[in-house]
Amino acid sequence: MRQTFLAQLEELNNDVIKMGSILELSMNEMIGALYEKDIEKAKKIIDRDDEIDLLEQHIERECVNIIAKQQPLASDLRKITSIMKIITDIERIADQCADISEYIIKLSKYPQMEEPKSLELMIEAMKKMVINTIDSFVEADLEKAKAVIEADDEVDNDFEKITDELSLTMQNKPELVPQCVCYLMIIKYLERMADHATNIAEWITYIVTGDLTVG
């Protein structure tokens, strides 16, 4: 048995789970900040982004080290190469939490407008995808990964719906254009978060099955 190697793999796995947990925290706080227009919370999320970036760099270095020194093969190789892709997506999702937080701060400078109708649905669908993605990594659960991939259409539909709604609002109430623009940016970021979650789910599928379907 390759004890050192197995220990390195386990540490790598734990680091990815840790990165996922920080992401989940940021995402939940971002959603809270958005609903409550909480500027302080939004600022905290922006500050936390550095932590995720550092962790990503650390994991990346670990992966390169393991490849160089242990020459992993088969499921180990799949896992390590996939982790290198997965952490990029986690980092992007965290970035988007920070990006949305910037728009929460911007939004707070304008008079409040009524939230787009499907926003909550879109947020819940996206949130479920991200959480399922992290869970499916931890549990190597193919079913959950599949559910994430299938749920992406739902988020895309919500995005289209809200875009139409915001477009109408801007036509009918030009004074709300600045707020609507902020919401447009926010839903675009939400939609991208779901895309990145889908990518991660595809990499998890590859880790488990060896079938490369990532498109």
Would you tell me which residues interact with other proteins (CB under 8 A)? 1-2, 5-6, 71-78, 210
Closest-CA residue to 150 (of 187, 204, 83, 202): 202
Min. distance of Cβ 67 from other proteins in angstroms?
12
Nearer to other proteins, 4 or 57 (CB): 4
Min. distance of Cβ 96 from other proteins in angstroms?
32
Q: Are 203 and 86 in contact (CB under 8 A)?
A: yes
10 phi-psi bin (left φ>0, alpha ψ -120 to 50, beta other): alpha
The helix/strand/coil state of 37 is: coil
How far apart CA 205 and CA 210 sit, in angstroms, is 7
Nearer to other proteins, 40 or 73 (CB): 73
Q: Are 22 and 90 in contact (CB under 8 A)?
A: no
Min. distance of Cβ 73 from other proteins in angstroms?
5
**Cα atoms in the 13 Å half-sphere on the side-chain side of 128:** 16
Nearer to other proteins, 68 or 112 (CB): 68
Min. distance of Cβ 76 from other proteins in angstroms?
5
Residues 6+ apart with CB under 8 A from 136: 142, 144, 145, 148, 201, 204
Nearer to other proteins, 81 or 163 (CB): 81
Min. distance of Cβ 70 from other proteins in angstroms?
8
Burial class (CB in 10 A: 0-12, 13-18, 19+), 14: exposed
Nearer to other proteins, 66 or 134 (CB): 66
Q: Are 189 and 100 in contact (CB under 8 A)?
A: yes
Min. distance of Cβ 5 from other proteins in angstroms?
7
Nearer to other proteins, 20 or 72 (CB): 72
